[in-house]
Amino acid sequence: MTATARPPATPRPPATAPSTDTALPGPAGDPLLGMALPLRRDLLGTLHAGFARYGDVVAYRVGPARGPHRLVVALHHPDDVRRFFADTEAFTRRTASYRAVRELFGRNIATAEGDDWRRQKRLLQPLLTRAAASRYAAVIEEEAHAAVERLGREPATTIDALRTTERYALRVLSRTLFGDDRGIDDDTVAALERLIPVVSRQMPARAKQTVRLPLAWPTPRNRRFAATRSALHATIERVLARAPEGDGPGLLSQLRAARDPAGGEPLSEREIRDQALMFLLAGYTTTSAALCSTLQLLGCHPEAQEQVAAGGEQWADAAVQEGLRLYPPSYVLGRRVGAGGAEVAGRTLPPGTGVLVSPWVTHRHPGFWRDPERFDPSRFADAHARDERPQHAWFPFGGGARACIGRHLSLAESRSFVRALLERCRIESLDADMPMDQLSTIRPSRPVRIRCRPR
Ligand code: HEM
C-alpha cells in the first residue's frame, strides 16, 4: 500500500454536548459485516481512506447494522493521540492483540498491567535510559563498521537491505544482551530467522480470530501456535544458558542484578526469560525494518543522501527519524475503552469500544506535515520545524508512560549504521517502491535491492 490521499482541513469541529450514541462519522460498509472485511484485508489502506474522507475521528462498525456489532474508532489528531497514550483508564491494553503477545511472550513489561507493570518498569527503565543506552555506543559503532566492511570493496555491490539490516540488528542486540562479543551463536541466529516471520504472522492472525479457543484445545491452529511458543522458549533458554554469570555490562546480567527500589525484590528467572524474549522480538524486527526503509529512501533521494552524508550525527539522526515517519514499523496501535467509557470528539465511547491510532496515517497528516509523502530529513534536522510540531504528530515509539523502552538503543543503532554506510558508499535503490506486508510490524514484502558504490 503506497497510495496517499488529501484529508479535509485540520481545525477541529466545536465540541457538542456529550451523548451516548456515538454517531461518529465513518463508512457504512456492508449491511451484515460492516467494515470487518476491509479492516481485515487492508487495515492501513482502510484507515487512510477513512481519514481522507472523514477526517481526524472515524468510526468503523464490525458486524450487522441491525443487531449486535462492535465499534472501532480511529483517532488521527495529535491531541487525541496524546490522550490515547496518557489516559490508561479510558484506553486500556485489554485487547486481543496484547492477549496474543502475552500468550507467546509471557508476562513482561510490555504485557503486564497495573502494579505489576509499575514494578517491572522500576526494575527495567534504568537499564535503557538514554544514558544507559549510550554505554553500548562503542559496541554499536563496531558492529556498524563491521557490517559495512562485510559489503566488501567491489566497485558496486547489490545488497538485500532487509537481510543486511536484520543481521546487523541481531548482532547488536545479542552483544548488548550479552555485553561481550560472543553474542548469539549461529544456531540461535538461524532459529530466530526461522521463527520471527512465523511469529509475525501467527500473532496478528490469533488476535483477528473471531472465535479464539483456549490454547489448551488441541486444534491444528492452536498446536502450531503452541509449537512456536515452545520453539521461542527453547531458543531463549539456550541464550540464557550461555549468558555470563554475575555482574556484567550486558542487559542479561543487569536483568539478573536488578532489584526493585521499592522493596529490593529481584525479577524471577521466568520474568528474566520473558523480558529477554520481548527485547529480542520487540527490538529486532522493528529496528531492522526501520533502518531498511531509511536506506531505501536515501537510495531514492541522492540529494538528501549527500546532505546526510555531509551532515554528521545530526543529519543521520534526522534521516532515521524521517524514515520512521514514512515507514513506522508499529503502524497501528490498539486499545479497548475501559469500564468508565472514553470521551472523544464530544462523544462518549461505550466500554469495550476498540480504539486505534496509526503512526502511518498521522505521520501523513497535512495539517502537520507539508507535502507529507516527500522524504525530507530537514523536517527533523531543523530545530525550529521540529519545535513547531505538536509532540504527537510523530510517535513511532508510542507515547506516555508506556512509550518504547528501547527507543534510545534503536535510534543509536540506526544512526551509526547510516553514518558508517554513507561514509564509505553512495547508495542507489534499484526499485522505486517498497511494498509492505502488514504483520505484527510492517515488513517489506520482497527483497529491498540497494546498490552500494564506494565513495
Ligand atoms: C524502530 C524500533 C522500534 C520501534 C518502532 C518500537 C515501537 C514501539 C512502540 C510503538 C511501543 C508502544 C506500544 C503501545 O503503546 O502499544 C513500544 C513499546 C516497547 N518497546 Fe519498542 N520499538 C522499537 C525498538 C525497541 C527495542 C530496541 C526494544 C528493546 C531493546 C524495545 C522494547 C520495547 C518494550 C519492552 C516496550 C513496552 C514498554 C511498556 O509497555 O512499558 N523496542 N515499542
Mean pLDDT for back-to-back runs of 10 residues, the chain (455 residues): 39 43 84 94 97 97 90 97 95 92 92 93 93 91 92 81 93 83 73 86 85 86 91 87 74 90 91 91 92 98 97 97 98 96 91 97 97 97 88 97 96 97 95 94 94 92
How far does residue 404's CA lie from ligand 1's centre (Å)? 4
Terminal Cα-to-Cα distance of the chain (whole angstroms): 34
How far does residue 74's CA lie from ligand 1's centre (Å)? 21
Atom of ligand 1 nearest to the CA of 85: 15
Architecture in CATH for domain 3-454: Orthogonal Bundle (1.10)
Atom of ligand 1 nearest to the CA of 334: 16
Atom of ligand 1 nearest to the CA of 359: 10
Of all protein residues, whose CA lies closest to atom 14 belonging to ligand 1?
398
Nearest to 351 by CA among 341, 366, 343, 361: 341
For ligand 1, whether the C-beta of 397 sits within 6 Å is yes
Of all protein residues, whose CA lies closest to atom 19 belonging to ligand 1?
404
Between β-strands 157-160 and 449-454, what pairing exists: parallel, antiparallel or unpaired?
antiparallel
CA trace torsion 116, 335, 96, 442 (10° rounding) = -110
Distance CA 96, CA 208 (A): 7
Secondary element (H or E) of residue 62: strand 57-62
Residue to substitute in 404, 408, 436, 443 for testing ligand 1 pocket (most ligand atoms within 8 angstroms of CB): 404
For ligand 1, whether the C-beta of 405 sits within 6 Å is yes
Distance CA 126, CA 266 (A): 14
Distance CA 201, CA 205 (A): 6
Of all protein residues, whose CA lies closest to atom 16 belonging to ligand 1?
333
- CA distances (Å), 325 to each of 7, 32, 353, 447, in order? 18, 36, 27, 21
Q: What is the per-residue pLDDT for 181?
A: 59
How far does residue 234's CA lie from ligand 1's centre (Å)? 23
Q: What is the per-residue pLDDT for 4?
A: 40
Residue 452, phi then psi, degrees to nearest 5? -110, 125
Distance CA 277, CA 232 (A): 8
Atom of ligand 1 nearest to the CA of 400: 15
How far does residue 129's CA lie from ligand 1's centre (Å)? 13
Amino acid occupying residue 184: I
Atom of ligand 1 nearest to the CA of 120: 41
Amino acid occupying residue 344: V
For ligand 1, whether the C-beta of 331 sits within 6 Å is no
For ligand 1, whether the C-beta of 286 sits within 6 Å is yes
How far does residue 130's CA lie from ligand 1's centre (Å)? 14
Please tell me the pTM assigned to this model: 0.93
Q: Going by C-beta distance under 8 Å and a sequence separation of 6 or more, which residues neighbour residue 168?
A: 143, 144, 147, 288, 291, 413, 417
Encode 156-190: b = buried (16+ Cβ within 10 Å), e = exposed: ebebebbebbbbbbbbbbbbbbbbeeebbeeebbe
Provide the residue ranges of all domains of the chain, joining segments of one domain with +.
Answer: 3-454
Secondary element (H or E) of residue 337: strand 333-337
Of all protein residues, whose CA lies closest to atom 43 belonging to ligand 1?
404
Nearest to 272 by CA among 252, 247, 299, 293: 252
For ligand 1, whether the C-beta of 421 sits within 6 Å is no
How far does residue 246's CA lie from ligand 1's centre (Å)? 27
For ligand 1, whether the C-beta of 300 sits within 6 Å is no
Of all protein residues, whose CA lies closest to atom 6 belonging to ligand 1?
397
How far does residue 110's CA lie from ligand 1's centre (Å)? 8
Of all protein residues, whose CA lies closest to atom 20 belonging to ligand 1?
404
For ligand 1, whether the C-beta of 404 sits within 6 Å is yes
CB neighbour class for 403 (10 Å; exposed up to 12, middle 13-18, buried from 19): exposed
In the numeric block, the cell 523480558 is attached to 275
For ligand 1, whether the C-beta of 396 sits within 6 Å is yes
